[in-house]
Amino acid sequence: MALAASSPTDAPGTAGTRQRHSPFGPAAWLVATLIGLGALLAMLPDGTAEPLQTVIAWLMVAMVATLAVMLVAKGMERLLDSESS
C-alpha cells in the first residue's frame, strides 16, 4: 500500500487543527528573567556581595547572547521561508 493511501491528509491533527507554539515563548521568559536579575543587581549594595554581583552580571551577559542567537535564528528561518515561497 502506498504511503499516501495509508495516511489521509484530512485526518484530525493535521495542519488545520494543529496549534503552533509561540516563537517568542522562551524569549519572553528570558527577558523577564533578565529584568528580574537586573532589578536584583540594582538592589544589592555595592561591594558587599561582589561575587554574587559578578555571577549575576555574567548570567545577564549570557542571557543577552542567547536572545541574540534566538533572534538571528528566527530571522534566518523567516528569510528561508520567504525565499522558498
Per residue in 3-46, pLDDT (tens digit) is 555 555 555 555 554 455 565 677 788 888 889 988 988 888 87
pTM given for the model: 0.59
d(CA 61, CA 67): 10
The SS3 assignment for 31 reads: helix
**Residue whose C-alpha cell is 516563537:** 23
- The model's pLDDT over 43-77, given as tens digits with 9 standing for 90+, comes to 888 777 888 888 888 998 998 998 899 889 989 99
